[in-house]
Amino acid sequence: MRSFLNRMTCRPAHSAKPGPPRDGQSGLRLVLANLGHLLGGKAAAGVMSLVYLVLVTHRLGAADYGVLVLVNGYAVLIGSVLAFSGFHGVVRYGGIALQGGDHAGFARIVRFLAVIELGCGAVAVIIAALLVPLIGPRLGWSPDTIRVAVPYSLAVIATVRATPQGLLQIADRFDLIGVHQAVSPLIRLVGALGIWFAGGGLTGFIAVWLIAAIAEGLAMWGFGWVAWRKLAAGERVRGPWRGAARDTEGLNRFILITNFDITVRELAPNLAPLTVGWLLGPAAAGLLALTQRATSLLAQPTVLLSQASYAVLAAQVARNDLTALRHTVWRSAGLALAIALPIVLILAFAGDRLLRTLGGASFGGGTILLILIATARGAGLASAPLASGLTALGLPARSMTVGLVTSLALYPLLPAMLSAFGTDGAGWHALLQNGVAIVALALMFRTNAKAMPA
């Protein structure tokens, strides 16, 4: 990204290599510059999402909107569990190869990760389709919904796009990542307007959501091709890839750990709506989904902040500038908390009115749930740079352990909390998970960053 903040990031070897930042503040400015491009696309996406959300919720009501959420959430869950992410491997090992001028090695690494990601994605689509007749009835889906949910398994494609996203990061094309944020919302908006004026219902919205998911995945691979042409120095897209793991020390272990970490981290937020739908029905799942969308101002920056910070932190580690690394991580986390607090306070005072405005009268009574979800997501926003810092230090197993505990070990408490508090139990559970995560990540980063020589 070429911005007014003059940030520096990992660049291909034939480019002028960036010099080290002068202090920790410059590292934070690099993160903010990357984040600015990403948030630019997300801002446009947010406006479009708000419009189509109002259209869909007012047309369908809480129960049918819950069914739409559950159909989409089911496909996303299968994709997140079974799909493979080549993102961290491309950024770390692909970037190292480029810094060393090894374009052939870079190409092998990218091909290797892309083959695995695409193969796992195909398996995920098949498994999702096969399980629909077994899972659908327990989630309150009608026979008609089950029939359309089988082809909706192709929506897994939206989760199969991590490798090209890694290419865009090290190619310095955060602008294209920002543009990609608007692909799915734009299609959903146009489709929702068409369904609204045509008088359509749930099936029509499911079809629109499927088209948007497929476009989201394919668009990222198209943008990745732009980055490939910049980075690969004439290397063909099709070529040797089997030797990448053998020739790149530590690659296999790194991608296994980071993928397990990503899977575990995405499991809880994707599993929670399905658990609510399973135990309390589609209407409760719809209310939870609307509160999650209403707090997306906090949720989306969590992912974006991880994306924006990782390349900067990895570059600082590559330069052995661990003082800058520590400053960047702590200041990024502090800034995230400062951003989150006023948003949570606003939602606390205007929560019920916001939910009724967005979804209609059937979504009233969710203020407590909204506050709990917002607070949990504020903690998640602050924990993003801490997790990225551990990964940049070559310690992804640390954040993986935290994710394992908060997502899996604490998950059995969710049904009990739903039984005790109703839908609000999902909010208390999310707050518990994110609270434990931020404390554990902060302690781990403090210990490991201090123990390593600056």
Q: Mean of the per-residue pLDDT values for the chain?
A: 81
- Closest to 118 in 3D by CA, of 65, 147, 156: 156
- How buried is 188 (Cβ within 10 angstroms: 0-12 exposed, 13-18 middle, 19+ buried)? buried
Task: Give the mean model confidence (pLDDT) for residues 409-425.
Answer: 93
Residue 14 lies in a domain: no
* Lowest-confidence pick of 4-8, 57-61, 439-443: 4-8
What secondary structure does DSSP assign to 182-240, as a single string?
THHHHHHHHHHHHHHHHT--HHHHHHHHHHHHHHHHHHHHHHHHHHHHHHSTT--SSS-
CB atoms within 10 A of CB 84: 26
Predicted pLDDT at 1: 30
- Number of independent structural domains in the chain: 1
Q: Is the pLDDT of residue 303 over 80?
A: no
The answer to pTM > 0.95 is no
Q: Is the pLDDT of residue 215 over 90?
A: yes
Residue 4 lies in a domain: no
Residue 167 lies in a domain: yes
Distance, in Å, from the CA atom of 192 to the CA atom of 432, rounded to the nearest integer, reads: 35
Q: Is the pLDDT of residue 7 over 50?
A: no
Backbone angles phi, psi at 234, to 5 degrees: 90, -5
Q: What is the pLDDT of residues 389-398, one digit of tens each?
A: 887 787 777 8
200 or 335, greater pLDDT: 200
Distance, in Å, from the CA atom of 122 to the CA atom of 116, rounded to the nearest integer, reads: 10
User: How many residues are there in the chain?
Assistant: 454
- Residue 238 gets the label, from left (phi > 0), alpha (psi -120 to 50) or beta, of beta
Distance, in Å, from the CA atom of 234 to the CA atom of 255, rounded to the nearest integer, reads: 26
Rg, the chain, Cα only = 21
Distance, in Å, from the CA atom of 73 to the CA atom of 118, rounded to the nearest integer, reads: 20
Predicted pLDDT at 280: 93
Residue with tokens 């491009």: 37
Q: Is the pLDDT of residue 43 over 80?
A: no
Predicted pLDDT at 264: 74
Q: Which of 89-98, 342-351, 363-372, 424-433 has the highest mean pLDDT?
A: 424-433
Sign, CA torsion 435/258/220/15: positive
Residue 177 lies in a domain: yes
**Residue numbers of the domain that contains 435:** 24-451
| Pair of tokens at residue 60 | 């369908």
Residue 292 lies in a domain: yes
Q: What is the pLDDT of residues 179-210, one digit of tens each?
A: 888 899 999 999 999 999 999 999 999 999 99
Residue 16 lies in a domain: no
Residue 9 lies in a domain: no
Q: Is the pLDDT of residue 273 over 50?
A: yes
Predicted pLDDT at 146: 95
Sign, CA torsion 55/206/291/133: positive
CA-to-CA separations, 143 to 59, 136, 203, 223, in angstroms, rounded: 21, 9, 12, 38
| Pair of tokens at residue 130 | 């096969």
Residue 413 lies in a domain: yes
- How buried is 17 (Cβ within 10 angstroms: 0-12 exposed, 13-18 middle, 19+ buried)? exposed
Sign, CA torsion 106/109/111/114: negative
Q: Is the pLDDT of residue 153 over 80?
A: yes
Q: Is the pLDDT of residue 9 over 70?
A: no
